[in-house]
Chain A
């Protein structure tokens, strides 16, 4: 194995390192302030104060009210709560609109609704992965309950026109949910037209297993978890105090660093695109500009993505792929299929996702290693590229 110090982690869309500041903020809540936030005594009151303080801090990053923030175990739960919770609270409306490029944490709750007799429209996207707001308008019906469109895509980085989509939903009186897991802390979010918004802490240098759902005041949801009535009855379960405190610290860190980190990540992305495009038989998946700053996705003709990831791993570089061979059902990722990457190219996809700890030297090292690895795999492939 390669020494940890030599590792280059370019898989920040999968998860991130917990920032040292965040760890420090969480530390007291494991064995000093360990009370149950519902308890009457001092231990409990201290925990409650920490939880409510975190709620206020998170609300502030979005410019919303603390009562509109509900803590969950992550974005999978937040998405499920938004979609299934809204459906259960509004049984008369039986139609949901979403897109073909959502995360499975949105697609699968929608698919489950279909098993319950709901109608779900999965909107197409263009070659860059963008949803047409007019297609959303056209799909809305009298019985449409919800439109769910992600703010930025986790595989190819494409930013969706959610401000426009949200406006259309509001004009038509339809609720609008957005999965902002990858976009939060990276791009501005139009909260004025968003009814429900999901975030996960571990994608922003916070801990795993904690997230939140923003629920615009006045929107009724039915809980998924019934129990002690925590989170004002919407999400029972003793509050994960260290996790919640860590998420708030991570959110504040992301917001305070945004002006410094985001331009740097954009530069890295521009450089990755410029350099990788020079290699023969490569194609950018996603939009060159209308993209989250930290996600870059390329396809390499003639080679398969899983072996590319494994070869890079030998060099201590962590990346990921949407290739068929890396998926349990041996199909290329639904996002690459939705943007109609030809199957031969979809097999050779590579996702490079940077983060606050990524350095220019690491990008340079990656860009030096990549052509060797690509050439090496092409040399043993029957498909010759660039000859």
Chain B
């Protein structure tokens, strides 16, 4: 069900782990729903003074597709300017992997979201103006996380009740 490319990235993922000197991190997903991705970026100015993603890495809890899309989004974004990186979509990630099974498309969305969030956090920390599209996507991602947490709130309570005493 997975393409060769997906399997290849899953087997030998690129840019895995945590950058020791990252400038910003984007954290998306939720362990309750199963997929979590933390994406680290290191932003530097290139020789012509543009801000670029000089280095990038990630830590992912998720399926084969989630790990492959993490690897792929990091490949695509590395060396790109902030503006170029903002334009990366989940479709770009899935396409580069030769496609994903429909049920796994949300894993590529997670990868693109994590990049979005890392850049958003970078710009906020740097006191920069947030491009409207990026802000909209940030609001959308935050709202989605909120919905998921609400959707699982009842379940989480039953879990806590069941596991509260004695761990």
Contacts and interface: CB of A to CB of B under 8 A. Distances in A.
A323 to B, nearest CB: 7
Interface in B23-68: 27, 31-38, 58-64, 66-67
Interface stretch (B9-17, B80-88, B128-136, B138-146): B9-17
Contacts of A303: 61
B158 interface: yes
B162 interface: yes
A307 B37 CA distance: 14
B161 to A, nearest CB: 9
B159 A342 contact: yes
Interface string A332-347: 1000000010111001
A380 B59 contact: yes
Contacts of B103: 328, 330
Interface in A320-367: 323-326, 328, 330, 332, 340, 342-344, 347
Contacts of B159: 340, 342-343
A347 B31 contact: yes
B16 A307 contact: no
B66 A343 contact: no
The A interface is mostly helix, strand or loop, or mixed, namely loop
Contacts of B61: 302-304, 347, 381-383
A34 to B, nearest CB: 37
B31 A306 contact: no
A332 B159 CA distance: 14
Interface of A: 127, 302-304, 306-307, 310, 314, 323-326, 328, 330, 332, 340, 342-344, 347, 379-383
Contacts of A379: 16-17
B35 A325 contact: yes
List of 3 A-B pairs having minimum Cβ-Cβ separation, nearest first: A325-B63, A306-B63, A382-B59
Given A328-B103, A340-B163, A307 B59 contact: no
A326 B63 contact: yes
B63 A343 contact: no
A55 B27 CA distance: 61
A96 B35 CA distance: 37
Contacts of A342: 159, 163
A314 B66 contact: no
Contacts of A307: 10, 62-64, 66-67
A232 B90 CA distance: 58
A330 B64 CA distance: 14
Interface residues of B, number: 31
B34, B59, B156 — most chain A CB neighbours (10 Å): B34
Contact of A344 (B10, B11, B16, B31): B31
A347 B34 contact: yes
Nearest to B25: A382
Nearest to A302: B61
Contacts of B13: 380
B34 to A, nearest CB: 5
Given A307-B10, A340-B163, A383-B36, A325 B31 contact: no
Contacts of A380: 13, 16-17, 58-60, 67
Contacts of A324: 33-34
Nearest to B107: A325
Given A314-B11, A343-B159, A381 B59 contact: yes
A330 B16 contact: no
A332 B35 CA distance: 12
A331 to B, nearest CB: 9
B144 to A, nearest CB: 15
A239 B121 CA distance: 67
A340 B31 contact: no
A338 to B, nearest CB: 11
A66 B51 CA distance: 80
Contacts of B16: 379-380
Contact of A304 (B32, B59, B62): B62
A347 B31 CA distance: 9
A343 B64 contact: no
A344 B32 contact: yes
Contacts of B155: 343
Contact of B66 (A127, A325, A328, A340): A325
A314 B33 CA distance: 26
Given A303-B61, A307-B64, A382-B59, 19 more contacts: A127-B162, A302-B61, A304-B61, A307-B10, A307-B63, A310-B10, A324-B33, A325-B34, A328-B103, A330-B103, A340-B163, A379-B16, A380-B16, A380-B17, A380-B58, A381-B59, A382-B27, A382-B38, A383-B61
